[in-house]
Structures are given as C-alpha cells and as structure tokens.
Chains A and B, each alone.
Chain A
Amino acid sequence: MKRTVVLRTAALLAAFLMFTPLFFLSSPILSQSDEDCMVCHEDPELKSGDGKSLHVDSEEFRSAIHGEAGFSCVDCHSDLREIEEFPHPVKLKAVNCGECHDDAAKEYQTGIHIQASPEEDCCAVTCADCHGKHDIKSTTDISSRVYPLNLPQTCESCHLERVKTKRGGEFIKQYEISVHFKALEKAGLTVSANCSSCHGAHDIKSVVDASSRVSRKNIIRTCGQCHVGIERDYLEGAHGKDYVKGIKDVPVCTDCHSEHDITSPQDLSSPVYATKVADVCSRCHDDEVLARQYGFLTERLKTYSGSFHGTASKFGETRVANCASCHGIHDIRPSVDPKSSINPKNLPQTCGKCHPGAGENFAQGKIHVVSEKTGNKWAYSVKMFYIIMIAAIISVFLVFIAADLFHRLRHNRAKP
C-alpha cells in the first residue's frame, strides 16, 4: 500500500517535471511567436501615433545578449501574453527588467536615477537608457554601452546638457581632461576609473547623500578601491587619523586632487603639481579659523614663499622643495611623531634627498620663519641693520642730489 503511493507520487512528479519545461517553452508558440511580432515590427517605417519608431531590428536583437540566449519578445514584453488580437492596439507597458535582474533592481531602488523625476509616474532614467533596448550586450562585451571604455559617453549623453546637475555639464566634462579618462581613452586601460568606478552603477547617489560612494565619508574607500597603498598611507598620516575620527574639515582625496579633472601630479594643470602644492596646502594651513580650532601654525605659505624654495617655486622651478618634499604626501605626520619626515632626527635624511651629505646643521634653525625677531635674532639684527642703513644712505644720496640740482638751477637762472 505504502509502496504504491510512493510510486504513484514519483510517477506524477516525473511526468510533471518532464512536461513542465515543454509547457513553458511551447507557450509562446501557442500564443505569439517572434515571427508574428516581426510581421509588423520588421518594417523600418512603422511608427506609433506620436511618431516614435516601432521598428525592431531582428538581426540586432539576435546578436544581443537576450537574443543569443533565446529569449523571445513576450519574455520581456510580458503583457503581450494575454493579448490575442493583432495588431495590438495598446501601448505596451515598460519592460520590467527586475523580474529577472532582481539584485540590480533592488540597488536601483536606492539610487538617484529612480528619484530623478518625481512628477512622472516612473523613473527618469530607466534600465534601457543606459543598457539599451533590443541591442543590450553583456557588460563584459566591448561594444556594450556600459563597458568601461564606453560608459563615459553613455553617461555624458544625458549629463552634458539634457540633465541639469547642480554643478553643470562643464563639471561633468572635466572628466575628459583627467588622467583616468586619458588612461581609458588613450591607453585603453579598462581598470582606469570610469563614471561607475566612483559613483556606482545602479545605486548612484547624490554627493550630499552620506551613503553615496563619493560623499566625504566614503570617498577615501572609493578611491582606495584602486589606490590601495595610498589609502593605507593616508590613514596612517595626520589627515587620515583625523578623518577616521569623523572630523569634517580634514582634507579627503578630492580636496587636494580635485574631482572629475584629476590629473597626474606631473601635469602642469594638476593642483598638486610641484609649484602649486603650496597653494593647495595653504588653503587650510593659512586659515586662521581652522588653525585656532585644530591648533596648528599659520603663515605657512608666506614663510615658505620667503625662502629660496618658495621663491624659486613661484617662478616655476620644480626641482626645489615644495610642501610635500619635506612633509610627505599622503602620510603627513606631525613633527613630534618619530616617523615624521620633519622630526628633527629625520631632517638630515629628508633634506639629504636633495642636499647630499646633509648633516645635523640642517636642523639647527627654522624653515618656516614667521618672525626673525623671535626665530633668529642674529638674522633679525642683520636685517634691521640693512634696512636702517639702506634708508639712511639713500636719504643722504637724495638730499645731496637735491641740493646739487637746487644750486645748479639757481645759478643757471641767475645767468642771463
């Protein structure tokens, strides 16, 4: 008795499993085949009431990822399944890609593209806007619209003009002068950062959203996806340590390197080019308010500019020391840190990078001399001596010249 029940159930189950696929596969055939659709949609002139082309290139579809996988029209245009009379009069519903691509759809729900147009029923930017429609290719296919090499163009197709972002199309276009774009475009390096490397793909968020990949809170991690070593150095340095504490004034990657237009530090247009670094650092380090709040010294730029390093740098000399040459780049440490490049113990080594054989005398004095009066009394005396002497000598010269001219003028006039 028991055995027959089991056998029966197994037979039923087997029959079900055998026929179910057949049932599903045959269902389009039962309703509409692709050929049925193409009877009308093959026509390149086919247009909807409002003039939109309703043409479908079947060749294109068959070479695209869904076509290759054997999908038929109604698999995606699911609302066609119920319609039996053709031509179908109604406008079809938008395809819901999320039926299959549920992970992407879930991410998409959290992104800005779904919110972009609150007045419309649905989202301003749909799957098809980025991925295409019948011609969707795999993201690993070089001809895909979202393949790294092509993604900038895809995003820019809206973001340059049609979609007004807060900072405008120019800001977006700046990406094209970046080292990231150059690597992508000129060197063909697909590992170089494209739009989605920093902004994400389906869950793109506004920069002001704290959960955005490009927010101040997350930008370090975002850049660190590729620049792993730099992220490590940064987090070990003074800036990184304060960043971890959540101090919002601390500089993150983009504060020094700029955003879309990140260029190589060897590029003259880079804000961290050798002769420009001082301007970048002094934005904060010469700021009186920040200095009071966080207890650091100001007048760093002024005191640097007054030195030979700073003066030469101002005149475009790149070989002289800039801020980073002595203080380090990403792992800048305070001088009290024994690992700091400007710790008095390490100064000979730091100066020795440029001045071979630099000894302890390099540390016997101040680099950023705010006031010779307090910093270097001898230098101050010499300076004052010269200022007084120059003023005195030049005054005497002028008085003598004036007297001489006065005398000549009077006697020339006296003469007829």
Chain B
Amino acid sequence: MSAKEKDISGSKTMTKNPSLILDDEVFLRMNLAERIQHIVLITTFLILMLTGLPLIFYELKFLKPIFSLEKSFYVRGILHRVAASVLILNVIWHAYYTIFTKRGRNNFKELLPGLKDLKDAFELFWHNLGLMRFLYRKGFLKKFLEAHPYWLFEKAPEFGRYNFIEKFEYWAVVWGSVVMIISGFFMWNVELSLSLFPLWVHDIFVIVHGYEALLAFLAVIIWHMYNVHLNPEVFPMSKVWLNGKITGKELRTLHPLEYQKILEERKERL
C-alpha cells in the first residue's frame, strides 16, 4: 500500500507470527455504545455550531437572511439549548460508561497522555519532513547523523490503541465540553449567573464561550476532518465510526503496538 505501511511493517516482531492475527480478521474498535456517543456528539456539535457561530460573525452580511424570518432567532436559541442539553446527557453517559464498564475504563487508560505522545508527534513530524535524511544524502552533518541515527527519523513512530492525534482530539473534546457546558450554563441562566458573579465575570463566560467554540470549530474542520476524511490513507472516509470495525491489517499498520499486544496475549494463551 503506502510507503508508511512499508516503514511500519518493517518491524520484525510483527511479521513473526502472522497466522495468529489474519489480515482480514475483524476487531471491534468502537462498540455500539461508543458509536452512538460519537454520532450524538457529531449531531449536537453540528447543531450547536450552526446555531451558535453566526453570533460571533454577526457582521457578515450573508448570515442575515438565515435569521430574517420571524421567530428564527428564537428558534435558533431553542435549538441551541436543546442540542446543548442532549450533549450534556451524552457527556454524562460517556462519563458513566468510562467509570462503570471494563471497556470504558480500559479505553480511558489507553487515552491517558504520556511523554511518548509528545515524542511520537515530534518524531512523526520530522519523519514526514525528511529534512535530516535529505541533509544526510547531501553530505551535511554526516558524522553527527552516523553517530546518532535517531535524528534521521528513518522510521515513523509506532502507535498504540490511540495515537497522539486521537488522544489530543479526545482530551480536546473533554476540555471543550467542560468549558462550554459551564460557560453556556451561566449564559443560559443569566439571572443566576449575575446573582452569583459581577457582570465582568459573566462577560468572561461570554468571551470564553465564543472563543472556545471558534477553537473547537477550527479544530474539527481542520484537524479531525483531515485525519478521518481527507487523509489519503482513509479518503474519502474512515468507516470505523459507522461499523466500528478495524481489520487485522489496519491494526498492524495503524496501531502496531496494540497489534503487538494482542499478538502477545494470544501467544501466551497458546
């Protein structure tokens, strides 16, 4: 397939026992509960963005017709609050799922960020750039790079069940949900907010709600859409979010460390 695959599959430990994990074996990456949580998140996120972002860009003329119908601004507010409520329920469900199911707890452990993730990000970037290999070929820094071949970034880093990109996105959603729910709650209940805080604090809620929304919107449009749609590896779309399935081959190429872990478990069982 791609060059990346070759790089990763070059790892010897992984090709040793190919019969233990067949390339077309199906693994469950997202179970039904996780998929529903994700779909609810997509739906509510879209509605929240559509009914919220125009308020940030109130000066754009093309947005005006959308809200020129009578009551449309009122309906916007209702939709935004309904979507927010569903999102809050989704978050509560996810928290419950994470705490009270074995799979949830395991996923959570796998999602915990570590130093390796920073290293992975750093290495993948330099590997993709190939600058050091280019310099080496041109004869620059020859001595240094022969003594420290790490800096050639010859191999792409190997990822576990969740790579640094996925971990970042997960924690971005966690952070974003907390910030948006708290600030949104006080904007929704402005009388309550102002009975607790002075106006200037409430103003911060409004600012935070807007900028966090902008950040979330850009992150999803640029980062998430690239990683699960536009990336040539998965283009036009990774179907994991629909069927939850990942093949042995995909596991081996995209999540080699998880692949290895499963392989070892099976070897032990033998």
Contact = CB atoms under 8 A, between A and B. Distances in A.
A403 B72 CA distance: 43
Contact of A312 (B73, B194, B223): B73
Contacts of A404: 128, 231
A407 B200 contact: no
Interface in A264-300: none
Contact of A379 (B73, B74, B197, B207): B207
A315 B201 CA distance: 25
B58 A365 contact: no
B211 interface: yes
A363 to B, nearest CB: 7
Nearest to B214: A390
Contacts of B67: 315-316
B80 to A, nearest CB: 12
Given A317-B73, A358-B191, A364 B222 contact: no
Given A363-B199, A369-B203, A315 B212 contact: no
Interface in B164-221: 187, 190-191, 194-204, 206-208, 211-212, 214-215, 218-219
A406 interface: yes
A361 interface: yes
B54 interface: yes
Contact of B58 (A315, A357, A359, A412): A315
Given A316-B72, A316-B73, A364-B199, A407 B128 contact: yes
A378 B54 contact: no
Contacts of A357: 191, 195
A358 B191 CA distance: 6
A378 B206 CA distance: 12
A234 B125 CA distance: 69
A347 to B, nearest CB: 9
Interface stretch (A105-113, A328-336, A393-401): A393-401
Contacts of A410: 130
B129 A403 contact: yes
A361 B208 CA distance: 19
Contacts of B212: 386
Interface string B73-108: 110100000000000000000000000000000000
B219 A397 contact: yes
Nearest to B125: A403
B68 interface: yes
Given A315-B67, A355-B190, A397 B223 contact: yes
Nearest to A319: B74
Nearest to A383: B207
A255 B115 CA distance: 67
Contacts of B232: 405, 408, 412
Contacts of B204: 376, 378-379, 382
Given A314-B58, A390-B214, A394-B218, A382 B208 contact: yes
Contact of A355 (B125, B129, B194): B194
A355 B191 contact: yes
B58 A305 contact: yes
A376 B203 contact: yes
B270 interface: no
Contacts of A414: 3
- Kindly name the residue among B128, B130, B196, B198 whose own CB sees the greatest number of chain A CB atoms within 10 A: B128
B215 A390 contact: yes
Contacts of A390: 211, 214-215, 218
A362 B54 contact: no
A177 B128 CA distance: 69
B64 interface: yes
Q: Which 3 A-B pairs have the closest CB atoms?
A: A365-B199, A364-B198, A411-B3
Interface of B: 2-4, 54-55, 58-59, 63-64, 67-68, 70, 72-74, 76, 121, 124-125, 127-130, 187, 190-191, 194-204, 206-208, 211-212, 214-215, 218-219, 222-223, 226, 231-233
21 contacts: A310-B58, A314-B58, A315-B54, A315-B58, A315-B63, A317-B74, A361-B197, A363-B199, A365-B203, A376-B203, A376-B204, A379-B204, A382-B204, A390-B211, A390-B215, A394-B218, A397-B226, A407-B3, A411-B2, A411-B4, A412-B2
Interface of A: 305, 308, 310-312, 314-317, 319, 355-359, 361-367, 369, 372, 376, 378-379, 382-383, 386-387, 389-390, 393-394, 397-401, 403-408, 410-412, 414-415
Given A317-B73, A397-B222, A412-B2, 9 more contacts: A310-B58, A314-B64, A355-B194, A358-B194, A361-B197, A379-B200, A406-B129, A407-B128, A412-B232
